[in-house]
């Protein structure tokens, strides 16, 4: 599969990912599970380099690898990494704010702007704006010791080149080391599933304090 994305349009990359995984699943009918392929928003977000990782998990019959995901309540999202009033008016500015939010975590060990650069590089592969007013900027980088998740809200909304062309208000952003592909994909899958529900998105947008955000996520996970 071509790993050079410079000459491939994003929609074509998405199709290649889905076709690649579908073909592989069909060739190994003992573990075919359509739940792997039904979440297009997840496949909009994974990187080409993740395909081999997913294949290996499929081959090991680990269907839960993407299907289940990690509970967000088991992943520490602290109040300091929540900003309910992002100020930027464009995508680049938002990525700066979100990267600075992540950098408040002691998990960030790289040089200044490393996280921002990693997020920008990921966006070059295609927008992480998955639609319905949500974006999930993310990056794998050696500038972080462990998975780190932050959350931000833009009250006015940002043109993030989303799949449905709607402005984005809710931003889940995270970074993880390159070696942590498994949890990286699980968290991506879990967030993608949670934000599908309009009520949950509305509740998040309506939160007045970081604590309310954490409580909102915890209540949803406990259902």
**CA dist., res. 122 & res. 45, Å (int):** 9
Q: Where are the domains of the chain?
A: 10-67, 72-222
- Look at residue 60 in the predicted model and tell me its pLDDT: 53
Question: What are the tens digits of pLDDT across the range 12-67?
Answer: 334 344 444 555 445 544 433 444 433 434 545 555 555 555 555 555 544 333 33
**28 catalytic per annotation:** no
pTM equals 0.72
Question: What are the tens digits of pLDDT across the range 98-137?
Answer: 999 999 999 999 888 999 999 999 898 888 888 889 999 9
Q: From 3.90.550.10, 3.40.930.10, 3.30.420.270, 3.60.15.10, which CATH number describes the 72-222 domain?
A: 3.40.930.10
Chain-centre distance of CA 8, in angstroms?
Answer: 21
Catalytic residue among 122, 132, 138, 169: 138
């Amino acid at each position: 599969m071509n790993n050079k994305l410079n000459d491939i349009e994003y929609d074509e990359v998405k199709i290649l990912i889905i076709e690649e995984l579908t073909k592989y699943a069909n060739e190994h009918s003992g573990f075919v599970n359509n739940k792997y392929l039904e979440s297009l928003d997840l496949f909009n977000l994974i990187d080409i380099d993740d395909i081999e990782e997913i294949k290996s998990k499929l081959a090991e019959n680990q269907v839960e690898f993407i299907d289940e995901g990690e509970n967000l309540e088991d992943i520490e999202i602290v109040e300091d990494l929540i900003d309910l009033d992002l100020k930027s008016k464009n995508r680049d500015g938002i990525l700066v704010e979100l990267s600075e939010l992540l950098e408040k975590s002691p998990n960030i060990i790289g040089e200044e702007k490393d996280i921002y650069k990693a997020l920008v590089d990921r966006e070059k592969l295609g927008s992480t704006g998955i639609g319905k007013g949500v974006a999930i900027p993310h990056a794998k980088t050696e500038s972080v010791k462990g998975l780190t998740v932050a959350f931000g809200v833009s009250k006015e909304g940002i043109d993030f080149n989303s799949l449905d062309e709607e402005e984005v208000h809710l931003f889940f952003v995270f970074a993880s080391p390159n070696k942590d592909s498994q949890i990286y994909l699980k968290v991506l899958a879990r967030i993608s599933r949670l934000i599908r529900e309009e009520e949950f998105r509305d509740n998040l947008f309506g939160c007045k304090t970081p604590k309310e955000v954490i409580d909102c996520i915890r209540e949803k996970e406990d259902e």
